[in-house]
Amino acid sequence: MKIITYNVNGIRAALTKGWAEWVQKEGFDIICLQELKAEPGQLDLSIFDNLGYHHYWHPAQKKGYSGVAILSKVKPDHVEIGCGNSAYDAEGRVIRADFGDKSVFSIYFPSGTTGDVRQQVKYQFLDYIYDYLIALNKKGRKLIVCGDYNIANKPIDIHDPKGNKESSGFLPEERAWMDKFYENGFVDSFRQFNSEPHQYTWWSFRANARANNKGWRIDYIAVSESLKKQLAGARIIPEAKHSDHCPQLLEVNW
């Protein structure tokens, strides 16, 4: 089973850059999208039908903002829209699809880069989603948590750790949250197969950052430890250039 997570920074913009043709060529089984910046009514949904996907959308109430989706070639047993918190659900941050004993999430974690208020929202979301995911994991569901976490976990995950030590996305509290998450029943699927530095999923539009590979790894597919033995491979796909992010692929023996 080939699963990707991809912050498309606007699905309509990504479609104009050949996203659908790329997906058709690659043939992913499940696609988890973040930052749609669109409602289903603003899209030609036949595009996704023609690609062979069941598709489920959770847009934000605010137009042109946030939003997540899951596209799957296999029809899920159940789809859960939102995470039960009205504030986060209004922002279109969480969608979940269940397949037997497995649950696949697409989550768009808040960014704190616009100031202290949103940074506090980010911390509150981290606390809430941690409890939500840990509780599901303890119930025995096998979780595949795809998303833009908006956190670079380790110095290896960011091009300039010293220069960004006070930047949102690399703050000690954020990194500690990820450490705690991985210490309590989850694993970073990418690092199970890749230990090399300079592998990133997001680059600023400034200073030719992508061409110079001055990026951050902030997009992840975390999985329950109970799935660890079923992981078959993982990689970042930097050649996919439909966004300021690139996707991560996970292969799982389903």
Q: What is the dihedral of CA 35, 36, 38, 42, to 10 degrees?
A: 170
Of 77, 89, 127, 148, catalytic: 148
Please classify residue 51 by burial: count the beta carbons closer than 10 Å to its beta carbon, then call 0-12 exposed, 13-18 middle and 19+ buried: middle
Measure CA of the first residue to CA of the last residue in the chain; give whole Å: 6
Hey, what amino acid is at 9?
Answer: N
For tokens 């043709």, the residue is 21
148 noted as active-site residue:
yes
Distance CA 112, CA 238 (A): 25
Please classify residue 89 by burial: count the beta carbons closer than 10 Å to its beta carbon, then call 0-12 exposed, 13-18 middle and 19+ buried: middle
DSSP character string of 231-245: EEEEEE-TT--SSSB
Residues annotated as catalytic (active site), given as ranges: 148
